Amino acid sequence: MSSQAERKYLILLSLAIINDAIDLLGLLNQLLETILDVFTAALICIVLNELNPWVFILAAIDLVPGIDITPFWTIYILYRYVIEKIQGRSRLRIRVE
């Protein structure tokens, strides 16, 4: 995995940790948390350059009271990073000279 991809995931992981910490600590009211979750979902789609419905499903799940203590965003970004890392290793690279 290139350093650019790792930097991309580091930025997304930082955003996810901040979002989950705000959810866990309850620093914002429910409306602002919802806006932050939708913003986070949109930013993840933009940075990863794909429209993934699971991101918006996570945003909807994060609306349920009591469930928002689970760090869904952080888990999702770590999952995506590990999957991309595994897929990068399994690709066969052929060099033609």
Low-confidence ranges of the chain (pLDDT < 50): none
Domains of the chain, by residue range, sit at: 3-90
Tens digits of per-residue pLDDT, 1-20?
A: 678 888 999 999 999 999 98
Q: Tell me, what's the pLDDT at 90?
A: 59
Q: Tell me, what's the pLDDT at 43?
A: 92
Q: What are phi and psi of 72, to 5 degrees?
A: -60, -45
Q: Which residue has the tokens 């033609």?
A: 96
